[in-house]
Amino acid sequence: MSDLTTIARPYAKAAFDFAVEKGALDQWGQMLTFAAEVANNEQVHELLTSSTSANRLSEIFVAVCGDQVDEHGQNFIKVMAENGRLEALPDVCAQFIVLKQELEKEIDVEVTSAAVLSDEQKANISSKLEQRLERKVKLNCSIDETLLGGVIIRAGDLVIDSSARGQLGRLSEALQS
């Protein structure tokens, strides 16, 4: 998969630069997300890995996408098909979204808690993270009842573990050393 990430990077950057130039970031994000879902479809994925010609592949792919992809998106798909890179579309989409979030100063944050967080707790976490990360924060909350208490926050490479289990683990390590 790391090969696909390397392959996807220049395509994502090209799509991102074009979308910024045309003022169509959201539209391109939606098109790439849809195209990535099509590429992830089991039957389409088998077709992408077959020996079908590039022209035929792009025709089929564009036909499946239909009105979800505009003329520029269709051209993008044709170029990727000509270069045998349609399989990398999900990675292109993921990297495009990262570039878009960096431009918009946004970050997705995963918050795992032992119990449902109140709106006040979510607002508090969000405001503290916005100050620390200097970005707009979008919280994705989930519950893990095995945490005992507290929360685990993941924002990119940053992990803040203030769960009871994490604190007990750090205490145990400190006592053993």
Domain ranges of the chain: 2-102, 105-176
Q: Which CATH architecture does the domain made up of 2-102 adopt?
A: Orthogonal Bundle (1.10)
- Hunting for tokens 């025709």 — which residue is that? 59
pLDDT in tens, the chain (177 residues): 457 788 899 999 999 999 999 888 999 999 999 999 988 888 887 877 777 788 888 888 888 888 888 999 999 999 998 888 888 999 999 999 989 988 888 888 999 998 899 999 999 999 999 999 888 898 999 999 888 888 999 987 889 998 888 888 888 889 998
Q: What are phi and psi of 149, to 5 degrees?
A: 180, 165
- The two tokens of residue 67 are 């009105």
Question: Which helix (H) or strand (E) covers residue 93, if one does?
Answer: helix 89-103
Q: Give pLDDT tens digits for 8-31.
A: 999 999 999 999 998 889 999 999
Rounded-to-integer distance, Cα 42 and Cα 34, Å: 15
Name 9's Cβ contacts closer than 8 Å, sequence gap at least 6. 95
